[in-house]
């Protein structure tokens, strides 16, 4: 630990009191505050593999993984060595460099619908820029999104959003102008009739349909493939672009994300998280004709002081190269299956009124519904989800398991979550349920 932190009164509670005087709610992103949990957040000072260590020196199995980027686990040695090498070479240029080219070519070669791409510094920026391209390309202003899908804190998309807004009454944000909100049309997931109506009414005004092809910001609401296929087809029939927001699912559920799994070629796709190996990187890419509309080639302006930051570029490339070399996606599927089997055994033994939902290395525990049907829409999530999850979260935390501190956020497994660690996780959940 460095000098600036080693001599402090390092209890999480004391640090949170100080932090509240510095940042709104003591945090720099809302879900971190443990809002509604009835206790203050844990402050972490170290991370390694599948573990986090708090300032009190307590160790936690980490199933939040910084909300998804750390697919190899924290401080993977191969990624670390590339990062250290880069730190010794340069931190930023604000000029042309080869590092973004290497990562860009790696992606372009393997992800065929990314004919061209642009690196930015966050998922939000990627989405915001993709929407700008869509509006410029179609000359239309409206965007269609699904209720509960989160696409970053872009003004126009903070309408019926998920993530930190999940479970709130308004599912929206203050500070969004009515004109901005009016440009966003929302429709429930898995509702073909409502979708057809929107296209009938507004089809000619819609620049793009944006979707999380695996909605993972309001729980894990796995969609029927036919619904996604139909939604994309109708968007295209109406002259709108299809934007896959794969900030979570991209490079996580498969190298080519959900687009690969569904066999759908989006016009544009947005990425982040894993792509930067734990550093702030986002990316949007897709059809060459659309991407060539961006400055300096075209009239769509988009820029960034730290865009394609070399540390993020080498961390991202090292992460992806290793994932490919070790067949990381197959390995994570096996680990996911193990977790699913063990958790389902616990749920069965304890007769716990819970369901475990999983897609690859993404998972979500939710309160069982009466129908016991798979959840595909926000409205189907039982109203007791928050209260029940919060109890489980606190007990698990106490026993050394860090789940994302929100009932509607998904959990993540990494390559560092070995079979033994998964068994430890399940033991903690078993005890917490007791």
List the 401-402 sheet strands across, edge first.
44-48, 51-54, 59-62, 401-402
| Span from 180-188, 199-207, 241-249, 304-312 in contact with ligand PMP (CB under 6 A) | 241-249
Closest to 382 measured CA to CA, from 354, 344, 358: 354
**319-338 in b/e burial notation, b at 16+ Cβ within 10 A?**
bbbbbeeeebbeebbebbeb
The whole-angstrom separation of Cα 158 and Cα 166 is 11
Is 309 within 8 Å of 92 (Cβ atoms)? Answer: yes
* Residue 122 lies near ligand PMP (rule: CB under 6 A): yes
* Residue 74 lies near ligand PMP (rule: CB under 6 A): no
Site mask for ligand PMP (CB under 6 A), range 136-165, x = bound = --------------xxx----------x--
Closer to ligand PMP by CB, 217 or 361: give it: 217
The whole-angstrom separation of Cα 110 and Cα 214 is 20
The least distance separating ligand PMP from the CB of residue 157, rounded to whole angstroms, comes to 9
* Residue 275 lies near ligand PMP (rule: CB under 6 A): no
Closest to 259 measured CA to CA, from 235, 285, 288: 285
Q: Residues 6 or more apart from 246 whose CB is under 8 A from it?
A: 212, 213, 257, 258, 259, 269, 270, 271
The whole-angstrom separation of Cα 50 and Cα 55 is 17
The least distance separating ligand PMP from the CB of residue 125, rounded to whole angstroms, comes to 7
* Residue 361 lies near ligand PMP (rule: CB under 6 A): no
The least distance separating ligand PMP from the CB of residue 123, rounded to whole angstroms, comes to 2
Question: Of the candidates 147, 183, 190, 245, which one interacts with ligand PMP according to CB under 6 A?
Answer: 245
Closer to ligand PMP by CB, 65 or 238: give it: 65
Helix, strand or coil, per DSSP, at residue 146:
strand
Question: Of the candidates 248, 283, 354, 367, which one interacts with ligand PMP according to CB under 6 A?
Answer: 248
Q: How far is CA 116 from CA 95, 217, 267, in A?
A: 19, 27, 11
The least distance separating ligand PMP from the CB of residue 287, rounded to whole angstroms, comes to 20
DSSP 189-247: TT-HHHHHHHHHHHGGGEEEEEE-SS--SSS--PPPHHHHHHHHHHHHHTT-EEEEE-T
| Span from 33-41, 81-89, 244-252, 414-422 in contact with ligand PMP (CB under 6 A) | 244-252
Residues 229/235/238/240 CA torsion (nearest 10 deg): -140
* Residue 390 lies near ligand PMP (rule: CB under 6 A): no
Closer to ligand PMP by CB, 167 or 282: give it: 282
- Look-up: residue for tokens 């080498």? 314
The whole-angstrom separation of Cα 139 and Cα 133 is 10
The least distance separating ligand PMP from the CB of residue 230, rounded to whole angstroms, comes to 21
* Residue 49 lies near ligand PMP (rule: CB under 6 A): no
Using CB atoms, what's the residue nearest to ligand PMP? Answer: 123
- To which H or E segment does residue 262 belong? helix 257-262
- Kindly list the catalytic residues: 150, 245, 273
* Residue 308 lies near ligand PMP (rule: CB under 6 A): no
Closer to ligand PMP by CB, 408 or 426: give it: 408
Site mask for ligand PMP (CB under 6 A), range 217-236, x = bound = x-------------------
The least distance separating ligand PMP from the CB of residue 272, rounded to whole angstroms, comes to 5
Residues that bind ligand PMP (CB under 6 A): 67, 122-124, 127, 150-152, 163, 212, 217, 245, 247-248, 272, 282
């Amino acid at each position: 630990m460095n000098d600036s932190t080693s001599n402090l009164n390092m209890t999480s509670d004391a640090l949170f009191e100080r932090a509240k005087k510095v940042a709104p709610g003591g945090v720099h992103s809302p879900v971190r505050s443990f809002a509604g949990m009835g206790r203050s957040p844990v402050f972490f000072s170290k991370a390694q593999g599948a573990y986090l260590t708090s300032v009190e020196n307590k160790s936690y199995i980490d199933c939040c993984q910084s909300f998804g980027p750390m697919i190899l686990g924290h401080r993977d040695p191969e990624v670390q060595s590339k990062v250290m090498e880069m730190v010794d070479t340069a931190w930023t240029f604000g000029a042309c460099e080869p590092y973004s080219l290497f990562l860009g070519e790696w992606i372009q070669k393997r992800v065929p619908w990314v004919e061209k791409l642009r690196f930015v510094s966050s998922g939000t920026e990627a989405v915001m820029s993709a929407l700008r391209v869509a509006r410029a390309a179609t000359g239309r202003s409206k965007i269609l999104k699904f209720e509960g899908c989160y696409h970053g804190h872009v003004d126009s998309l903070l309408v019926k959003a998920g993530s930190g807004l999940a479970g709130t009454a308004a599912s929206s944000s203050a500070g969004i102008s009515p004109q901005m909100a009016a440009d966003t049309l929302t429709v429930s997931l898995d509702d073909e009739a409502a979708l057809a109506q929107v296209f009938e009414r507004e089809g000619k005004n819609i620049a793009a349909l944006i979707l999380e092809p695996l909605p993972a910001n309001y729980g894990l609401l796995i969609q029927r493939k036919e619904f996604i296929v139909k939604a994309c087809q109708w968007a295209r029939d109406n002259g709108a672009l299809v934007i896959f927001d794969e900030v979570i699912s991209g490079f996580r559920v498969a190298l080519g994300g959900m687009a690969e799994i569904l066999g759908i070629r989006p016009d544009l796709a947005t990425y982040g998280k894993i792509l930067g190996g734990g550093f702030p990187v986002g990316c949007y890419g897709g059809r060459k004709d659309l991407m060539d509309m961006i400055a300096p080639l075209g009239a769509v302006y988009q820029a960034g002081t730290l865009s394609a930051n070399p540390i993020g570029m080498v961390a991202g490339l090292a992460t992806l190269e290793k994932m490919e070399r070790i067949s990381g996606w197959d390995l994570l599927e096996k680990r996911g299956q193990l977790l699913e089997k063990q958790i389902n055994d616990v749920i069965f033994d304890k007769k716990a009124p819970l369901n475990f939902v999983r897609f690859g290395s993404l998972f979500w525990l939710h309160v069982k519904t009466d129908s016991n049907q798979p959840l595909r829409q926000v409205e189907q999530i039982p109203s007791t989800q928050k209260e029940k999850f919060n109890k489980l979260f606190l007990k698990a935390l106490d026993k050394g398991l860090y789940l994302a501190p929100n009932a509607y956020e998904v959990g993540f497994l990494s390559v560092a979550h070995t079979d033994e660690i998964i068994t430890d996780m399940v033991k903690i959940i078993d005890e917490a349920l007791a």
